[in-house]
Amino acid sequence: MSEQQKNTGPASFSHLFPVPPATPTTEEKPPTTTQQQQPAAVEHTNTLSSNAGVDYVIVFRFPTDKRDATIETRVRDSMIALTAKLTRANLCYQVKPGRTHGTLLVLVGCPTSTLEQELERERIRDFLLGIRVKGLDDEDAGLGDTTGLTDAERLRVVYEILTGPESDGGANVSPNLDPYVESIMALHDDRFDKEWIHSWSRKWLIDKDDLTKIRNHFGEKVAYYFAFLQYYFLWLIAPASVGGLMVMFGGRSLSITYSLGMLIWSVTFIEMWKRKEHELAVEWNVRNCSKHERKRVEFKGDRTVKDQVTGEEVPYCPPWKIFTRRAMSIPGVAIGAAALSVIVACVFVLQLFLHEYYNGPFRQILHYAPTIGYVLLIPTMTNIYSAWMRILNNYEMHKTETSWEYHYTQKIFVANFLVAYLSLFFIAWIYIPFGDHVLPYLTELNVSHSHQKVDFQRLRGQLVYFVVTGQLIGFATEMILPYAMKLVMPKVEKVLHKDEDQDATTTDLSDDAASSKFMQKVYKEVDLPDYNIYTDYVEMVIQFGYVSMFSSVWPLTSLCCLINNWVELRGDALKICKYTRRPIPLRAEGVGPWIGNMETLTWLSSVTMSSFAYLFHPTTNIHSSYTPIFTILAILLSEHLYVALRLVIRSSVQALPSWSDIVVRKEEFNLKKIWLNKLMATGKAKRAATIDPSPSGSSGRSRDLRVESPDPRTKSLWSIDSTPEATALQLIQNAFKTE
């Protein structure tokens, strides 16, 4: 391909990143001209890139209050600092006006030379950590060779440069560090998105090639989510079939046999998924990637100290201070969880009162009030709780991204656990055993009611509401509402920002049609929300809790979740492509801390199923004073059974041979063999240099085998003997001579 062909057309990098002039001007200009000190325009060698060479877009948003004269100075200083960081990191950039007033878009691209340098450093680090083993014996291709680099790998490496610390050659750009930097986002590949959605709409199951395409485009972290969702979907077929047969043939709910089977299913699924995780990690070359503890740029510490291993200057914070901050965040989490629990409890109590006790005017209308309140209030409060947990998590001063993500995940799981299961626990363990005691008080207060005897059907009804109605509401919130907003909001924005759009269009009149079309695409994607993978994982893990803990209450729980997950697989793909920004490609070797949360739910299933099986058995007098004691005994027995089952199943799964273990051992053996051959070749070359070409003695040895004794008195011990073998034989013969 000629140089002219590389730099023409809408996909050319030079179209947005022109080569700077030879003579820089000294006149002060707006930030859009700061690219004059950038490296030369780059050429993308990756054929998957289809965004005019733009790897990332930095959204720079600032206030435009003309009453404060210092704002303009601060904004200019911040932009100058940002562009200086990009220049020092050898990244190309171009600044474009945003769609709204007070917004600039910094389009960032990575030259091939910069990408190769960072890729070489990464692969060396991966080799030292045991992440990347294959391909290191290829002497024809260097470690920084970008041939065959996937779109996700390229974006991930560029993101490492963009957000990495300056000591490692990065630009150290972060919304938490740089004033007015609102976000960093990647752009969608419209062609890939269209083909992906079209392909999945015609498939019943996604296969291995589909997961590989997701991994190559969105990175391993997103690919692991879809792999987990697909794997979980397939495993749901067994309990869904059994549950359907139970309902069809009139099987009894709360069956001990079915409860035990669901406990075995839950433990086996988790252990088999761990095995699948490892296989995918080996296949995707991300094994041991969690060992790379990426430092958080937000962690500054109190001072810098010299690292005892590497010798580099690193931020340091006393352990007692970190421990104190994390201990202080515990009350914050407790307060947030307590407030959320109170709101959930109030909504539930209102629902109970209106459904089962209230018999006054507007009863039919008020019947739906709790549902409407739940849909509107609970998600809002959950979002507030999540924002509060993010503040607390940042306050805890985590040194690495892995640590930050783990603690944030646990905090988020607490909130969703309370919202999903608190009302069910309340019904099963409080309302049903003690609900009838409320009736005398209502009679004394002359409150008319239509309340019937509390029984097991109330728990089943609440579960059906969460599994069916809750999932329908979730689908509407994730898919239908964004679609409606996508149709309405552009018209609203057009009316609200009509003058600003005209100004932006006037500013960009010098650009050609292809560039203007590309900028319209950028504007649309900037307006999209960030993709939050925590939301998708929470939804699946909470659903797993319904299946593992409450399937004995309603055997069709697994079947409803199976149907929902078939739709979820395609809905999440559509959501990522159309309704959210493109996820930043990140590496992962599993689903992370979510597997621990599922293990906790499985342990809880041993508690819930055993207690339900006893409390709601036809022969149990739930109001007896001995019922709490026997319930606790049933829970202890079931919990010990769970521990034994987990030990047996885990040992059995680990005993099964796995192709991934063979691949790992084979790669490690081949690597050792390669380096051993190189060391042996080096040793042979050194020994060959000491060879004496002249013959030595009758045996024809050509090397000088004399040994220098450290003690001169024993020097004769190593005197040259041309026939040591003959001497040995003679000594043996002498030993057998007859005296």
Handedness of CA 557, 562, 565, 570 (dihedral sign): negative
Name residue 113's amino acid: S
Under the banding of pLDDT at 50, 70 and 90, the label for residue 329 is confident
Q: Is residue 698 scored above 50 in pLDDT?
A: no
3-state secondary structure of 295: strand
Q: Which amino acid is located at 158 in the chain?
A: V
Res. 192 pLDDT band, cuts 50 70 90: very high
Q: Which of 45 and 244 is assigned the larger pLDDT?
A: 244
**Intra-chain end-to-end CA distance of the chain, in Å:** 95
pLDDT for residue 326 is more than 90:
no
Classify residue 246 as exposed, middle or buried by CB count within 10 Å of its CB (0-12, 13-18, 19+).
Answer: middle
Give the tens place of pLDDT for each residue, 119-157: 888 888 777 777 776 555 555 455 666 677 889 999 999
Count of Cβ atoms closer than 10 Å to residue 719 Cβ: 7
Return the biggest CA–CA distance within the chain: 132
Average pLDDT of the chain, as a whole number: 79
Least confident of 4-13, 39-48, 406-415: 4-13
In whole angstroms, give the CA distance from residue 384 to residue 336.
9
Residue 254 has pLDDT above 60, yes or no: yes
Q: Which helix (H) or strand (E) holds 106?
A: strand 103-109
- Lowest mean pLDDT across 20-29, 244-253, 298-307: 20-29
pLDDT attached to residue 466: 85
Is the pLDDT at 449 greater than 70? The verdict is: no
Of the given ranges (129-143, 390-404, 532-546, 644-658), which has the lowest mean pLDDT?
A: 129-143
pLDDT at residue 310 tops 70:
no
Please state, in angstroms and rounded to a whole number, the distance separating the CA atoms of residues 624 and 433: 10
**pLDDT at res. 22:** 37
Contacts 24+ apart (CB under 8 A), 635-644: 635/606, 635/607, 635/610, 635/611, 637/610, 638/263, 638/606, 638/607, 638/609, 638/610, 639/603, 639/606, 639/607, 639/610, 641/260, 641/263, 641/606, 642/263, 642/267, 642/602, 642/603, 642/605, 642/606
272-281, 458-467, 593-602: least confidently modelled range = 458-467
- Give the pLDDT score at 314: 73
* pLDDT higher than threshold 60 for residue 527: yes
**pLDDT band at 187; cut points 50, 70, 90:** very high
C-alpha distances in angstroms, 522 versus 97, 176, 185, 201, 416? Answer: 11, 23, 10, 27, 34
Average pLDDT (354-364) is: 71
Helix (H) or strand (E) holding 301: none
- Output 434 or 675, whichever has higher pLDDT: 434
How much is the pLDDT for 495? 63
Note the pLDDT tens digit of each residue in 271-287: 999 999 999 998 888 88
Tell me the average pLDDT across 647-659: 88
Question: Tokens standing for 713?
Answer: 């008195």
Element (H or E) spanning 236, and its range? Answer: none
Mean predicted confidence (pLDDT) in 83-103? 90
- Give the pLDDT mean for 566-590: 91
Window from 87-91, 323-327, 456-460, 689-693 with minimum mean pLDDT: 689-693
Would you state the pLDDT for residue 705? 52
Tell me what pLDDT residue 45 has: 42
**Residue 450: pLDDT band by 50, 70, 90 thresholds?**
low
Closest CA to 165 of 177, 156, 154: 177
Residue 287's closest CA among 134, 124, 115, 118? 134
